[in-house]
A and B are shown apart, each in its own frame.
Chain A
Amino acid sequence: MSHISSYETDIVLQTAISEGRSVEEDPGWEMLQEAIHACAEEMNLEVGRSIRDYYGRFVYCDWSLSGPTFERGVGVKVDRKTGKVMFLCDVYGGYELLARKVRDRIVQNFSALCVTKALAALNYEVELEELTDPVEGKKVLIRGVL
């Protein structure tokens, strides 16, 4: 029998922490970095280490994405105890939609990297295709054949 499953996703870098190592050594750390840099390229943003709040104060994080049209930026911070990945942004003043778009794109890119790697580890032949839908935005299709 075969089936179709739908999943909601969350990013938690817990593998290294559970082995007593630092989260920076987690197998997902580099992939998260790659996903953030890909998002920056796709959305014309720059990667840094801080975001700003409504009052212009700096908030430091592991990565940030900001640009001339989005000076406050979205921050990404990994909890050193739990590995939970958090997205930070002061959305006051109409930044909610843009902040959500940046977060969703990072999660989408990270998911694509993880699925590709996991299927390859299970010996599948993997193909990846990216589509842009005018309504739904970017879609990633990954096909693994055994």
Chain B
Amino acid sequence: MKREVRVDIGSDGKMRVEFSGFPGESCFDEAEMLAGLLKELGLWAIPVEVTPKTSEEIAREIATGETTQEKKVPHL
């Protein structure tokens, strides 16, 4: 399954970051790595809310991921 990070930056400068397709707790490591790189560049991202996805949301992502993979299978 592909890993995806989706970042929405609002007109007030606030960011909403969605991590999809990360196994286990690895999305938190990725979030930390991203925040570290942003800080090096000068953007301090201060977390105000962290919401783990529900099992339903994750199941939906996995289903979408499988559909995408099926589409990529070449016809021989």
Chain A contact-residue range equals: 35 or more
Q: What's the least CB distance linking B6 to chain A, in Å?
A: 5
Known A-B contacts A2-B21, A4-B53, A142-B6; the reply to A137 vs B11 at CB < 8 A is yes
Known A-B contacts A1-B53, A118-B41; the reply to A136 vs B46 at CB < 8 A is no
Q: Which residues of B contact A143 (CB under 8 A)?
A: 4-7
A108, B10: Cβ atoms under 8 Å?
yes
B21, A6: Cβ atoms under 8 Å?
no
For the complex, what is the distance from the CA of A118 to the CA of B31, rounded to whole Å?
A: 11
Stretch among A11-19, A45-53, A58-66, A89-97 lining the B interface: A11-19
How many chain B residues have a CB neighbour from A under 8 Å?
Answer: 50
**A11, A112, A145: the one within 8 Å of B9 (CB):** A112
Interface string of B41-58 (1 = CB under 8 A from A): 111111111111100011
For the complex, what is the distance from the CA of A39 to the CA of B5, rounded to whole Å?
A: 26
A4, B9: Cβ atoms under 8 Å?
no
Q: Which residues of A contact B23 (CB under 8 A)?
A: 1
For the complex, what is the distance from the CA of A50 to the CA of B50, rounded to whole Å?
A: 40
A138, B11: Cβ atoms under 8 Å?
yes
Residues 113 to 127 of chain A near chain B (Cβ within 8 Å): 114-115, 117-119, 121-122, 124
Residues 1 to 53 of chain B near chain A (Cβ within 8 Å): 2-25, 27-28, 30-31, 33-34, 37-53
Kindly report which residue of chain A lies nearest to residue B11, judged by CB atoms: A137
Q: What's the least CB distance linking B29 to chain A, in Å?
A: 11
A9, B45: Cβ atoms under 8 Å?
yes
Residues 73 to 95 of chain A near chain B (Cβ within 8 Å): 83, 85
Of the A-B pairs whose beta carbons lie under 8 Å apart in the complex, a sample of 18, sorted by A's number, is A1-B25, A1-B52, A2-B20, A6-B16, A6-B48, A7-B15, A7-B47, A8-B45, A11-B44, A14-B42, A27-B40, A27-B41, A105-B11, A115-B38, A117-B37, A118-B41, A140-B7, A144-B4
Interface residues of A (CB under 8 A from B): 1-15, 26-29, 31-32, 83, 85, 104-105, 107-108, 110-112, 114-115, 117-119, 121-122, 124, 133, 136-146
